[in-house]
Structure 1
Amino acid sequence: MAASSPSGVPTTEKNMNGRAKTGNDFDVYGDEQTADIKYRTMHWWKAAALMLAETVSLGILSIPSVFASLGMVAGCILVVSLGAVATATGYQIGQFKLRHPHVHNMADAGMVLGGPVWREILGTAQVVFLIFVCGSHVLTGLIAFDTITSGASCSITWAAVTAALGFALTLPRTLDGISYLSVASFVSIMSAVLITMIGVGVTGHQGGVGVTSHLNFANGFLAVTDVIFAYAGHVAFLTFISEMADPRDFPKALLALQLADTTLYLVVGVVVYAFAGAHTVSPALGNTGRTLRRVAYGVALPTIVVAGVINGHVCAKLALVRVFRMDGGRVSPHMARHTKKGWATWIGICAGIWALAFVIAEVIPFFNDLLGVISALFASWFTYGISGVFWFHLNPAGTRWTTAARKLQAVFWGAIVLRGQAGAFIMVAGLYASIWSIVKGYQSGSFPSPFSCVNRALA
């Protein structure tokens, strides 16, 4: 199909399958041969590093408390099983992207699956989810700064500082431009959890370790949603793939991510819980003595900020694409060129995201419950349920039952779809668990009021 380049000259584009593009599958970035800003430049290992930095940062901090809630055996089973399913569903997202090269985000996927209504539903859900994740990073930064300084300044100041850092680092226009931050993020979180594990080991066993656990429904479900959140990087996968030099390399990046995060979750969860026992707290860095805790949070500051930056960037890119994507196979010059309007729009979007993240961190100022709200609302849909719908969309009815292997695949993905349908229950139950925990926290006086200067350092 004939299309217009940013300069208005008609061009002919081809997609990843080599056929001529239609208006429906025109790539949002257009022809980058003469572009000032080139988006599709990221190698697979950079994508893997970004995915790892995005996924592991806050997820790993809640895992030890999951083991404390569920017990050692159930904790290990849950981490491994949800990790295996997350690998399969992540792979399916990659296959969907290859079939539909123009899909840049969940809004585009919704358009393919169900038209304009589903585009708005999935696009809105993705934006809200990512802004809430940014809010959780602002909250964690607040806790970290208060812990390091022993509450020397008003906690609102630290939330503002974290949000300002997140905004500044989100400003590069491409994922490749911020990929170098992922190395610092990974080194940071690994060093912090290593300090924590050494610290709890030196301190010795602090409480009994349960093989199994007896707990009420709300607490149990909150623990499950924490593990779901730990694998919730899928919401950004379509955008990552869109900026890879060769999207066919995505399975390499996915496998590297899933092997690394599942292993890390198991090791950290088992070690910290084995020593801290019933006294395990969340975030996990609070399980050491006062001095080591302050050191661990100081070391963890880069990952607290950078992982939020990655999520903020994906959210901002979705909004930018929505503003400047044109119908009929045309690409706005503001996407690929350094224009005043393009940069003003990008900066405004980034500022809006981090301002909202700051407000969320102040309104829901408690770590595990904020993660529970995020997971209950969106994580299970994007990480698990929607990939089953992708599989049935990519495999017509006449091809699903031709061989034994195909039948097994159909049954598996049918179960994933059913799990997605159960997402409504997960959302309601998870929200109940989170709201119940929030109400109990306020009733007991253990939570500070919103926009309060109260010191939130871990004692």
Structure 2
Amino acid sequence: MMHDNHENNPRQSAAETLPTRASSQGDTTSFRTAPYNEKNPLNKGEPTTTAIETNSSDFDVYGNEESADIQYRTMVWWKAAALMLAETVSLGILSLPSVFAAVGMVAGCILVIGLGALATATGYMIGSFKIRYPHVHNMADAGEILAGPVGREVLGAAQVIFIVFLCGSHVLTGMIAFDTITSGASCSVVWAFLSAVICLILTIPRTLNGISYLSVASFISIIAAVMITMIGVGVTGHTGTVTVTSNLSFAKAFLAVTDIIFAYAGHVAFFTFISEMKRPQDFPKALYALQIADTTMYLIVGIVVYAFVGDTAVSPALGNTGTTLRKIAYGIALPTIVIAGVINGHVCAKLVFVRIFRRNGMKSRHMNSHTVTGWATWIGIVTAIWLLAFIIAEVIPFFNDLLGVISSLFASWFTYGISGIFWLHLTPRSERWTTTRQKMTTIFWISIILMGAFIMVGGLYASITSIVDGYTSGGFPAPFSCSSRALL
């Protein structure tokens, strides 16, 4: 059960209370605070306030949208699930066969199932934190609740950096796809730039509901692409050695683990997804749909492709087939490569946009109206994100190691560690050690925090070691090189 943890945060501030809409005048809507209704922690009824009777929507970051030109809270749970699937099951699934090749069949299955189960628990905790603090729109807002202004800046910056790097990995994969489809017919920098421009254009819609329909196409795209890959390797037959277990160095084994962590690293966008749902209480439905679908797909793709390809498995997984099928698979996978990147870019842009137009409890009219200032700011933010993503894709032109660095620094916390901190914040110290069950729960969430720290340190070591080895052996092309990145 969630309670207000005044023991840890005695001060009364916006981080401790829920923003309540009080009046609307001119350009802005002002908010004042109201205490948490402990009798109804899931916020299913009407919250208790100290000033006026309010609707539950008034507690939300977007305020009352009944007469707004742009309405954000429009998604039903299945649309949120589709977005989460498109964001999560994209690049992550493409690295799974090479992970199985690195750690072996048994360890690969255990890691996929175990990390997936933990990702479900931590995702549910993020949803619980959002229900407790409905005004939280992103990790920066959560950081302010946990650690004041410093926490807001640290987690906000981390979320932006993480997502920009995710966008960079989508530009990089798009470049590889175009190079493979065209057999390196043009300079790879051109393909990277084209990928970034396509993603930029599709990121322009202001609401996630407008992108949710694209996410359905994205999911169908990746399913079709991996099906072609599995059929292709099945027709070709066994081409490599399959092992039950593997004897690897710590660095190589942990680099493989970070790839699986990346495959579940959609949590960074959960606050924003929930903020644009009609009923945030339906988030668990979307979460369970996501976790059942992605864990099942990861197991099937990892097991089937590795069973036929064995230790010759490459990443991205679409490169494991013959030349013709490889081009077809990449062509079909292009929508998911692009759309998953678009979703990440939208979440990042929305964080910055809300930060600009929501200050000190004041919400500018530019958030919900078709104003020149609002649209110019939005398009400017989107352009900056994809320009940075393009530069990252060219400066860091390697796939697995990029995923390893990203997962180690950020996914370790956003997917796992920070949820343990959320639980400690929501649970008063006096209730953490009361019963045997509560003690076990407390130990579990503390272990999740320690797990996040361990993944970060171990993953960074493994990723940096791999990058150094790659540059030593001359395995990476120079930045902004026109050399083909096609998988032929």
- TM-score category, normalised to shorter length: over 0.9
Q: Give 1:231's aligned residue.
A: 264
Give the whole-Å Cα distance in 1 for the aligned partners of 2:246 and 2:85: 30
Pick one of 66, 70, 84 that aligns with 1:33. Answer: 66
**Relative to structure 1, is the Cα distance of residues 131 and 2 closer, same or farther in structure 2, using a 3 angstrom cutoff?**
closer
Q: Give 2:11's aligned residue.
A: none
- Check if 1:431 corresponds to 2:464: no
Pick one of 366, 377, 380 that aligns with 1:334. Answer: 366
Q: So what's the TM-score if we normalise by structure 2?
A: 0.90
Partner SS state of residue 47, structure 2: coil
- Check if 1:417 corresponds to 2:449: yes
- Check if 1:358 corresponds to 2:390: yes
Are the counterparts in 1 of residues 21 and 63 from structure 2 also a CA contact under 8 Å?
A: no
**Relative to structure 1, is the Cα distance of residues 445 and 108 closer, same or farther in structure 2, using a 3 angstrom cutoff?**
same
Q: Give 2:207's aligned residue.
A: 174
Alignment of 1:211-230 (within 5 A): 211-230=244-263
Partner SS state of residue 168, structure 2: helix
Greater shift, 441-450 or 201-210, is seen at 441-450
Alignment of 1:243-262 (within 5 A): 243-262=276-295
Partner SS state of residue 5, structure 1: strand
Partner SS state of residue 331, structure 1: strand
Pick one of 308, 312, 324 that aligns with 1:291. Answer: 324
Q: Give 1:347's aligned residue.
A: 379
Q: Give 2:487's aligned residue.
A: 458
Give the whole-Å Cα distance in 2 for the aligned partners of 1:43 and 1:175: 11
The percent of aligned pairs where both chains have the same amino acid is 71
Q: Give 1:192's aligned residue.
A: 225
Give the whole-Å Cα distance in 1 for the aligned partners of 2:258 and 2:237: 29
Runs of 5+ consecutive residues of structure 2 not aligned to the other structure: 1-19, 37-42, 52-57
Alignment of 1:7-86 (within 5 A): 7=26, 16=43, 18-20=47-49, 26-86=59-119
**Relative to structure 1, is the Cα distance of residues 337 and 292 closer, same or farther in structure 2, using a 3 angstrom cutoff?**
same
**Relative to structure 1, is the Cα distance of residues 416 and 8 closer, same or farther in structure 2, using a 3 angstrom cutoff?**
same
State the Cα deviation string for residues 132-185 of structure 1 (Å, max 9, x = none).
000000000000000000000000000000000110000000000110010010
Are the counterparts in 2 of residues 131 and 357 from structure 1 also a CA contact under 8 Å?
A: yes
State the Cα deviation string for residues 294-348 of structure 1 (Å, max 9, x = none).
0000000000000000000000000001101021x32100101111111000000
- Check if 1:208 corresponds to 2:241: yes
State the Cα deviation string for residues 322-379 of structure 1 (Å, max 9, x = none).
101021x321001011111110000000000000000000011111111111111100
Give the whole-Å Cα distance in 1 for the aligned partners of 2:441 and 2:162: 30
**Relative to structure 1, is the Cα distance of residues 204 and 317 closer, same or farther in structure 2, using a 3 angstrom cutoff?**
same
- Check if 1:301 corresponds to 2:327: no
Give the whole-Å Cα distance in 1 for the aligned partners of 2:288 and 2:187: 43
Partner SS state of residue 361, structure 1: helix
Are the counterparts in 1 of residues 28 and 364 from structure 2 also a CA contact under 8 Å?
A: no
Alignment of 1:64-143 (within 5 A): 64-143=97-176
Give the whole-Å Cα distance in 1 for the aligned partners of 2:83 and 2:357: 25
Give the whole-Å Cα distance in 2 for the aligned partners of 1:330 and 1:67: 50
Give the whole-Å Cα distance in 2 for the aligned partners of 1:102 and 1:292: 48
Give the whole-Å Cα distance in 1 for the aligned partners of 2:351 and 2:149: 16
- Check if 1:263 corresponds to 2:296: yes
Give the whole-Å Cα distance in 2 for the aligned partners of 1:115 and 1:314: 22
Are the counterparts in 2 of residues 4 and 330 from structure 1 also a CA contact under 8 Å?
A: no
Q: Aligned-pair distance for 1:31? A: 1.2
Q: So what's the TM-score if we normalise by structure 1?
A: 0.95
* Bigger share in helix: 1
Are the counterparts in 2 of residues 5 and 30 from structure 1 also a CA contact under 8 Å?
A: no
Give the whole-Å Cα distance in 2 for the aligned partners of 1:2 and 1:316: 25
Q: Which amino acid aligns with 1:346?
A: W
Query: For the aligned residues, what is the CA RMSD?
Result: 1.7
Q: Give 2:216's aligned residue.
A: 183
Moved over 6 A (4+): 9-15
Q: Aligned-pair distance for 1:430? A: 1.9
State the Cα deviation string for residues 380-439 of structure 1 (Å, max 9, x = none).
10000000111111111222233333232222112112223xx2x433332232222222
Give the whole-Å Cα distance in 2 for the aligned partners of 1:305 and 1:294: 16
Q: Aligned-pair distance for 1:28? A: 2.3
**Relative to structure 1, is the Cα distance of residues 12 and 134 closer, same or farther in structure 2, using a 3 angstrom cutoff?**
closer
Are the counterparts in 2 of residues 5 and 330 from structure 1 also a CA contact under 8 Å?
A: no
Pick one of 401, 405, 422 that aligns with 2:437. Answer: 405
Q: Aligned-pair distance for 1:26? A: 5.0
Q: Which amino acid aligns with 1:364?
A: I
Q: Aligned-pair distance for 1:9? A: 8.4
Give the whole-Å Cα distance in 2 for the aligned partners of 1:433 and 1:11: 49
Q: Which amino acid aligns with 1:110?
A: G
Count of residue pairs the alignment pairs up: 453
Q: Give 1:242's aligned residue.
A: 275
Greater shift, 443-452 or 200-209, is seen at 443-452
Give the whole-Å Cα distance in 2 for the aligned partners of 1:291 and 1:27: 51
Q: Which amino acid aligns with 2:26?
A: S
Q: Aligned-pair distance for 1:448? A: 1.0
Give the whole-Å Cα distance in 2 for the aligned partners of 1:295 and 1:128: 33
Give the whole-Å Cα distance in 2 for the aligned partners of 1:291 and 1:283: 16
Runs of 5+ consecutive residues of structure 1 not aligned to the other structure: none
Pick one of 301, 312, 315 that aligns with 2:345. Answer: 312
**Relative to structure 1, is the Cα distance of residues 2 and 89 closer, same or farther in structure 2, using a 3 angstrom cutoff?**
closer
Are the counterparts in 2 of residues 4 and 331 from structure 1 also a CA contact under 8 Å?
A: no
Give the whole-Å Cα distance in 1 for the aligned partners of 2:413 and 2:449: 10
**Relative to structure 1, is the Cα distance of residues 163 and 310 closer, same or farther in structure 2, using a 3 angstrom cutoff?**
same
